[in-house]
Amino acid sequence: MELTGAEIVCESLLKEGVDVVFGLPGGAVLPLYGALSSYPDIRHILVRHEQAAAMAADGYSRATGKVGVCVATSGPGATNMVTGIAAAMMDSVAMVAITGQVPRPAIGSDAFQETDVTGVTLPITKHNMLVMDVKDVAQSIHDAFHIARTGRPGPVLVDIPRDVLLGEKTEFVWPETTKLPGYRFPGKAPEAQVAAAAKLINKAQRPIIMSGHGVLISHAYRLMTELAEKAQIPVITTLLGLSAIRSDHELNLGMSGMHGMAYANLAIDEADLIIGLGMRFDDRVTGRLSAFAPNAKFIHVDIDASEVDKNVQTDVGLVGDLKAVLGQMLPKIEANVHIDWLRHIEELKVQHPSHLVRESDELLPQYVLQRLTEVTQGRGIVVTGVGMHQMWAAQHCRFTEPNTFITSGGLGTMGFEVPAALGAKVGRPDVTVWSVAGDGGFQMTMCDIATAVENHADVKFAILNNNSLGLVHQLQELFFEKDYVASEYSANPDFVKIAEAYGIRGIRVTQKDQVVDAVQQAMETAGPVIVDFIVKEDEGLYPFIPSGQSVKEMLEDPALIQSS
Amino acid sequence: MAQSNHTEQHTLIALVEDKPGVLTKVASMFRRRGFNIASLAVGKSEQPGLSRMTFVVNGDEHTVGQVVKQLDKLIEVLEVSDITSERLVARELALIKVTTNQMTRGEIIQIVNLFRANIIDVGSESMVIEITGEEDKINALHNLLAPFGIIEMLRTGLVAMVRGQANGLANGRDKKTGRANGIGRS
């Protein structure tokens, strides 16, 4: 049967196993919506702003491991998705963005709502394409999903002119194969290099595993933990890799880097071998490169060849799929105990207990997260925005399952938390999803609470409300002579009333003894809930290795050091 | 973490899909990552639907290694190789329009013959010279013609090919390091 381009898009989405898309219609993409109504197996979630469509698709993808799909119209619809697409690119998230384009004859004429979307998204997509023939629609969608989900995942944008969606019909033939002669990705790594890596690991006295997002993407968490346990190697995770190993695992040191655990950073400083797994030695992780792990050799395993030797010069670089490479490597690893090394790290942890929250009568944001994670027992999914609350969540939330901490790491997108949590909840309705926000980021995307309400996405929205852009405020305090320009809010809305306006429950918490009760009530209440935690306004974020510096310049919470 | 910081000129070749936007993607990657491109030449290859690119890139070993990997990562790039250390034939074509008169014409023709270059257009007050060769040869001719007055010049950028029977672009291997730069077909 002959189908329109729009119908072929829908058929192709079904072939790719898509059951939900996030989007917002407009003129150029409307033919696709016209077809969607005939495909009830594809659930469409109508967002309030296209950036939420991209960010929800991101959250959905990370929570489920499936490709997240977002849809927008030409021009402003597509450009509104740009931030969400860029975030997915930086964090290697499998996403397909479908945008309508003005009709083919109008392309290049500066037509109404025309933007060169493939041009705009060129450097922030893994790949993009403009489909100029209805006969190419099925192949393009098939190729897009293949590229998005394989190798190092990333966003792929498919731009389709209106008259390709709704013009000439053609026979729908689902392509057997992809048509991508230049696309390849690695599987196993060369045996000789695996052996060289194993030799370094077996020889190391003070090794550390640095486990990144790739461990989650590749489903390599069990093998990674097995490697750590077999050779008794402590594990440090990146921000995006946090949930790859149980928080209460005895070898887990938590996150390192700019706001990572002090003892984790100090351990890296003394390590003689860094085993980087599915991570990219980002500047937030390394600080000043020349002073990063100065005593260590480096093994780096990544599926993206261009990441190996990009920031850190490796002694052994392994390009391959992490799960396959760890499978090759494990039989070559000798059992070890590293008693002295682990004991030394225990001592560092006692001397620099940055995992603890200091005693205070005031409502500390760290305290809120500590109680919240106690109530959830580390189950369910935590989605954060960007800033102090994000770092405190990374420091104090506990995780028991993979893919349960979702945050905008690479791009650092404020406002990510509300739509990404919505997407995560749509993908995982069976688990509790907490969106943890600051009052700044929350106001960037809170319009999409309506989307959560409308679609019965039962997200619990926590706001750590300090009436300011907290991280900016702290940077101004430390490095801009306390010139607090443009970082304090004088007229924040009443977030409990915001909740009520959306027809959901709002709870305000101002004191420590209200925290646990509020969290429990939020979880027992059906539907989305907003909990507005009015926290200590000028609480500093520690530890802190200022940008471009090293562990030697690390600032720690003075109160915490005294109390230990 | 020692690495060579010695900047030198590298010759890279690539096989890419002949599709709209590919040149933009390649150029955009160079711009965005701050790689220094000295010349770029593009044209058809022996395979239908595929174009061949030759890049001359300035940088140290590490930087050029990154250029190769980043190029290889582009979906439309099938193969890429640093052939700097191979035995090469490398050629560039230049057109040079030089000012002439009755006094200078003879001398210019002598120089052109010496370089085995061609005169492809002659006017009463100018001459267009075509020369093919390696960069040094073209530079030398340019220097000799400069005193006569060069009206305009254009150079195509270097095109390069590995000598001998083998195709310089085989199996996505970085010829210089021997390391696979992409590994395994999908």
ipTM for the predicted complex comes to 0.91
Assess whether A14 and A131 both reside in one domain.
Answer: yes
- Please check whether residues A33 and A92 belong to one and the same domain: yes
Q: A306 and B3 in contact by Cβ < 8 A?
A: no
How many domains is chain A partitioned into structurally?
3
| CB nearest to B17's CB, from A151, A182, A305 | A182
CB A28 within 8 A of CB A101: yes
- Considering the domain architecture, whether residues A325 and A421 belong to the same structural domain is answered as no
A335 and A458 inside one domain: no
Ramachandran area for residue B176 (φ above 0: left; ψ -120 to 50: alpha; else beta): alpha
Same domain, A319 and A396: no
The verdict on residue A557 lying in a domain is no
Mean pLDDT of B40-62: 95
Nearest CA to A461 among A523, A408, A516, A515? A523
- The answer to whether position A358 is within a domain reads no
Phi, psi of A527, deg, nearest 5: 85, 175
Is residue A446 a part of any domain in this protein? Answer: yes
The answer to whether the Cβ–Cβ distance between B78 and A187 falls below 8 Å is: no
Provide the residue type at A56 as one letter: A
The answer to whether residues A275 and A320 belong to one domain is: yes
Centroid of chain to Cα A409? 6
Q: Which chain B residue lies closest to A291 (C-alpha atoms)?
A: B1
CB-based contact (8 Å) between B81 and chain A? no
Q: Tell me the mean pLDDT in the region B63-74.
A: 96
Contacts of A151 in chain B (CB under 8 A): 186
CATH assignment of the domain containing A223: 3.40.50.1220
Q: Is the pLDDT of residue B166 over 90?
A: no
Give the distance from residue B45's alpha carbon to the nearest chain A alpha carbon, in angstroms.
Answer: 15
Residues A312, B1: C-beta atoms closer than 8 Å: yes
Mean pLDDT for A290-312 is 97
Q: What phi and psi values does residue B87 have, to the nearest 5 degrees?
A: -80, 120
Q: Are residues A16 and A164 in the same domain?
A: yes
Assess if residue A357 is contained within a domain: no
Q: Please check whether residue A48 lies inside any domain of the structure.
A: yes
pLDDT tens column, A172-223: 999 999 999 999 999 999 999 999 999 999 999 999 999 999 999 999 999 9
- How distant is the Cα of B36 from the closest Cα of chain A, in angstroms? 17
Region of A71 (left: φ > 0; alpha: ψ -120 to 50; beta: rest) is beta
- Within an 8 Å CB–CB cutoff, is residue B146 touching chain A? no
Nearest-Cα distance to chain A for B75, in Å, is 5
Instruction: Please write the tens of the pLDDT for every residue from A253-267.
Output: 999 999 999 999 999
Examine the domain organization and report whether A346 and A385 are in the same domain: no
Kindly state whether residues A248 and A115 are assigned to the same domain.
Answer: no
Residue A150 lies in a domain: yes
What tokens does B96 get? 């040079």
Residue finishing a domain among A351, A378, A401: A351
Residue A284 in any domain: the answer is yes
Residue B9 reports pLDDT greater than 70: yes
Mean of all residue pLDDT scores within chain A: 97
Average pLDDT over residues A318-329: 98
A79-109 residue pLDDT tens: 999 999 999 999 999 999 999 999 999 999 9
The Cα A426–Cα A524 span in angstroms is 19
Distance from the A155 Cα atom to the nearest Cα atom in chain B, whole angstroms? 13
Q: Does B73 contact A305 at a Cβ distance shorter than 8 Å?
A: yes
State percent of chain A over pLDDT 70.
Answer: 99
Phi and psi at residue A350, to the nearest 5°: -70, -40
Give the number of other Cβ atoms within 10 Å of residue B125's Cβ.
9
What is the DSSP-derived secondary structure letter of residue A541? P
Asked if residue A7 belongs to a domain, the reply is yes
Domain of residue A375: give its range.
365-544
For residue B7, the model assigns a pLDDT of 84
Contact state of A178 with B186 under an 8 Å Cβ cutoff: yes
**C-alpha dihedral, A217 to A22 to A128 to A172, nearest 10°:** 100
Average pLDDT, chain B: 89
Rounded to 5 degrees, φ, ψ at A333 are: -90, 130
Residue of B nearest to A178 (CA): B186
Chain A nearest C-alpha distance from B77 (Å): 5
Q: Give me the pLDDT at residue B4, please.
A: 54
- Domain boundary (A281, A316, A351) is at A351
Share of chain A above pLDDT 90, in %: 98
Six-digit token string for A358:
């200091």
Cα–Cα distance measured from residue B152 to residue B97, given in angstroms and rounded to the nearest whole number: 5
Looking at per-residue pLDDT, the higher value among B183 and A561 belongs to: A561
Whether chain A has a CB inside 8 Å of the CB on B87: the answer is no
Statement to judge: residues A56 and A203 lie in one domain: no
CATH of the domain at A523: 3.40.50.970
Yes or no, beta carbons of A182 and B1 under 8 Å apart: no
Nearest CA in chain A to B186: A184
Can you give the pTM of this predicted structure?
A: 0.95
The domains of chain B, with CATH numbers, are: 8-85 (3.30.70.260), 88-159 (3.30.70.1150)
The sign of the dihedral angle between the CA atoms of A258, A261, A266, A272 is: negative
Same domain, A375 and A470: yes
Same domain, A113 and A205: no
pLDDT category, B101, cuts 50, 70, 90? very high
In this prediction, residue B185 has a pLDDT band, given cuts at 50, 70 and 90, of very low
Establish if B53 touches chain A: CB-CB under 8 angstroms.
no
Whole-number pLDDT of residue A1: 86
What are the two backbone dihedrals, phi and then psi, of residue A90, each rounded to the nearest 5 degrees?
-65, -35
Domain boundary among A351, A373, A407: A351
All residues of chain B having their beta carbon less than 8 Å from the beta carbon of residue A181 are 17, 78
pLDDT tops 60 at residue A562: no
- Contact assignment for B181 to A119 by CB distance below 8 Å: no
Q: Decide if B65 touches A, using CB distance below 8 A.
A: yes
